[in-house]
Amino acid sequence: MSSEKRYCRKCLLSEQGENGRMQLEKYLAAIHKEDRTDDAAYEKRLERCRACEQLGSDATCLSCGCYVEFRAIQKRGSCPKHYW
Ligand code: SF4
């Protein structure tokens, strides 16, 4: 039996345990504060991603291949399907 952890298909990195949160923090640290969306816009974008048919395993967007949280945090980021 595999000891590999499995996560729900619709989980974001922030919801994938300590490893996911650490990976997310590493990515987000690369984005300057002035280049980040505000908290409300970030959460709104992620809510749309959570409901999206394009959200794949490992919290990536099947349309663009990005981690959705990494894309959503960027002020100039956009959804490849124009959902946000
Ligand atoms: S970035 Fe757009 S297409 Fe990709 S999962 Fe989020 S809402 Fe869906």
Ligand 1: residue whose CA is nearest its atom 1: 79
**Residue 44 lies inside a defined structural domain of this protein:** yes
User: What is the chain's mean pLDDT, rounded?
Assistant: 88
pLDDT tens digits for range 35-52? 999 999 999 999 999 999
**Residue 1 lies inside a defined structural domain of this protein:** no
Q: Global pTM?
A: 0.83
**Residue 25 lies inside a defined structural domain of this protein:** yes
**Residue 84 lies inside a defined structural domain of this protein:** no
Could you tell me if the CB of 10 is within 6 A of ligand 1? no
Q: Which of 76, 54, 83, 75 is nearest to 66 (CA)?
A: 54
Domain that holds residue 43: 13-73
Rounded to an integer, what distance in angstroms lies between the CA atom of residue 84 and that of residue 82? 5
Could you tell me if the CB of 49 is within 6 A of ligand 1? yes
Element (H, E) at 41: helix 39-50
> Residue holding tokens 């409901």?
51
**Residue 17 lies inside a defined structural domain of this protein:** yes
Domain count, the chain: 1
